[in-house]
Structure 1
Amino acid sequence: MNSADRRAAHAAQLASPSYRLAALDEDFLLGPSMRGVRFLLEFAKVDEALRDWGVRSTIVVFGSARVREHGPGRQAAWYAAARAFGALASERGGAFLEGGGTRDNVIATGGGPGLMEAANRGAFDVGAPNIGFNITLPHEEEPNPYTTPALTFRFHYFAMRKMHLAMRANALVVFPGGFGTLDELFEILNLRQTDKAPRIPVVLFDEAYWRSVINFEALVEAGMIGRQDLGLFRFADSPEDAWAELLKGGLSVGEPVEGAAQDVRDSCVRGG
């Protein structure tokens, strides 16, 4: 029997899904029994990339995807502030690779538009690497154009995305937002309250907005939280104030890189 005849005789076996190499069998890898493996893959791929880039810690910025640079009401001011903060934190926090081979306080967001885009854009403006942890959703927009391409990730599982957002966070800055922002904020506050996460500083930007959305005192008065729990977060109303509050809360920083951040902040104020 020649080679062609042998292959013809084995055609059914060769075409069977069971004969595929497991690592190349998409049907198998995407099946329910491999969910744990997919979790591991989503963890390992991102972890390896961040290690390769020397990312030791991040400053996570949350905020609404619906805010626009020239949007109505306070939207434009929020966008400008998030952009200015991204620049400021990148220059002062240690995002640029130093002699030790590690980057600290790298701006990390959910990778989408709006205030996430603004924070990534600020880091981009000063030439700093920054991270986008995107998630696949039915109506999800594409990644914003300011995240570092090699640090632009996409997740299927919210749980693994949240883990990567939290596990390297040196600080959390939360700009105005809706359900998604509230979800991320309260998850971090819960982890801090229960000592399941390090005591990182948490800053809520625009005190008037947050106090109008959440009646923190009512939670205390009803006995749902202790008064000491109000110390888990701070408020700020400008990028400089946000940075100062992070430092008061114990944020550790690398050597600052002076220069471009002030230009970026000035440009944001002018609408540039």
Structure 2
Amino acid sequence: MNDLAFENQSFLWGNEAGPIRILSEYLHPKAEFNEHGITDTIVVFGSARIPSQEKIQTENPSPLDGLSPYYEEAREFSRLISEWADVLKLDAPNRNLLICTGGGPGIMEAGNRGAKEAGAKSVALNIVLPHEQHPNPYVNKELTFEFHYFFMRKLWFMKTCRGMIAFPGGFGTFDELFETLTLVQTGKKSRIPILLYGTKFWTEVINFKKLAEMKLISEEDLHLFGFADSPVEALRFFQEKIRFELTHSEGTKT
């Protein structure tokens, strides 16, 4: 006797069932977000390779060790945001602002860790990779999601996003940053505050002003994002930009 189609693993992982897998990665997070009352998130991006102070190897130093302050600052930023979110709920009890990360190590871990230290929950959108990326120890299991498809994970990063902060990172961080900027620039996502943390890093690796001078982007596009160099400065940026009383548009359009 054949298995029921929805219990047949060889079918579900075959080419014909691709649309079912994609739909599952939309419907399952949606159901869990609704159940847990997650209405708004601040997404924290940054390198998975940046170590915490505890993980610096004194016997085998790495150039990445010099970036460890960014881990501690991402941790502190997430703690401050999570504490502020409690204050926001006094004026908007039907809203729930949480830190959201990619669920892995480095800056992602710092984001979930800071939220946990504030006594708050956080969202983790993990991706299954050939070299497996395990969720960090500071995630909340009930709000941790495993994705096979990058594009579905990207959708959920943006779906409830009310603000985005990018700490120094590599290809993955640049990918998420520029996709977010493109969505806002083209009106596919409502205007949200976007913050680049570490002015020296970002202005050295990307010459935004040169892009505007060459007319590859407009001068107005330079106002799509801001810069910050301390957790308190970053907190104030979002405090000035996020207003729960304004009409909320649900993330990216689908």
Query: Pairwise CA RMSD of aligned residues?
Result: 1.9
Alignment of 1:110-149 (within 5 A): 110-149=102-141
The two structures have a TM-score, normalised by structure 2, of: 0.88
Mapping 1:231-270, distance limit 5 Å = 231-248=223-240, 250-252=241-243
Q: 1:126, CA displacement in angstroms?
A: 1.4
User: Is the contact made by 2:199 and 2:228 (CA closer than 8 Å) also made in structure 1?
Assistant: yes
What is the match of residue 65 of structure 1? 48
Partner of 1:266: none
1:79 to 71, 79, 96: 71
List runs of 5+ in structure 2 lacking aligned partners.
57-63, 246-254
Equivalent of 2:26, from 14, 23, 43? 43
**Structure 2 vs 1, CA of residues 253 and 74 (structure 1 numbering), >3 Å: closer, same or farther?**
farther
Give the counterpart letter for 2:19 in structure 1: G
Instruction: Tell me, in whole angstroms, the C-alpha distance in 1 between the residues paired with 2:163 and 2:170.
Output: 20
Task: Letter of the 2:195 partner, please give it.
Answer: V
Q: Is the 1:94–1:103 Cα contact (8 Å) retained in structure 2?
A: no
How many Å apart are 1:98 and its aligned residue? 6.9
Distance 1:96 1:247 in 2: 10
Residue 168 of structure 1 pairs with residue 160 of structure 2: yes
Cα 1:119–1:182, aligned 2, differ >3 Å: closer, same or farther?
A: same
Q: Report the Cα distance in structure 1 between the residues aligned to 2:221 and 2:133, rounded to whole angstroms.
A: 36
Q: Cα distance, 1:206 vs. partner?
A: 0.6
Q: CA deviation at 1:107?
A: 0.3
Letter in 2 for 1:33: E
Q: Alpha carbons of 1:86 and 1:179: their partners in 2 closer, same or farther (altered >3 Å)?
A: same
Aligned-pair distance for 1:29? 1.1
Matched positions, count? 236
Measured after TM superposition, the shift of residue 218 of structure 1 is 1.2
- Sort the Cα spacing of 1:156 and 1:129 in 2 relative to 1 into closer, same or farther, 3 A: same
The change in CA–CA distance for 1:95 and 1:164 in structure 2 (over 3 A counts) is farther
- Deviations 1:210-260 (CA, angstroms, capped at 9, x unpaired): 001100111111111001100000000011101111233x21259xxxxxx
Q: Matched residues in 1 for 2:28 and 2:88: separation?
A: 22
**Is the contact between residue 95 and residue 128 of structure 1 (CA under 8 Å) also seen in structure 2?**
no
Unaligned runs of 5+ in 1: 1-13, 255-272
> What's the CA shift for 1:73?
5.1
Alignment partners' CA distance in 1, 2:212 and 2:88: 41
**Does the CA contact (< 8 Å) of 2:126 and 2:133 recur in 1?**
no
How far residue 28 of structure 1 moved from its aligned partner, in angstroms, is 1.1
* Deviation digits for residues 5-45 of structure 1 (CA, Å, limit 9, x no counterpart): xxxxxxxxx2xxxx221111111111111111111101111
Could you tell me whether the CA contact under 8 Å between 2:100 and 2:157 is conserved in 1?
yes
Measured after TM superposition, the shift of residue 97 of structure 1 is 7.3
TM value normalised by structure 1: 0.82
Residue 185 (str. 1) matches residue 168 (str. 2) = no
Distance in 2, matches of 1:61 and 1:151, equals 15
Conserved? CA contact 1:95–1:103, under 8 Å:
no
> Do the aligned partners of 2:39 and 2:96 also contact (CA within 8 Å) in 1?
yes
Aligned to 2:61: none
Whole-angstrom CA distance in 1 between matches of 2:182 and 2:157: 15
Q: Quick one: percent identity of the two aligned structures?
A: 43
| Change in 2 beyond 3 A, CA 1:97/1:59 | same
Structure 1 residues 21 and 83, CA, compared in 2 at 3 Å: closer, same or farther?
Answer: same
CA contact (8 A) 2:95 2:244 kept: no
- Aligned-partner Cα distance in 2 for 1:160–1:32: 17
Q: Counterpart of 2:136 in 1: which secondary structure?
A: coil
Q: Secondary structure at the match of 1:191?
A: helix
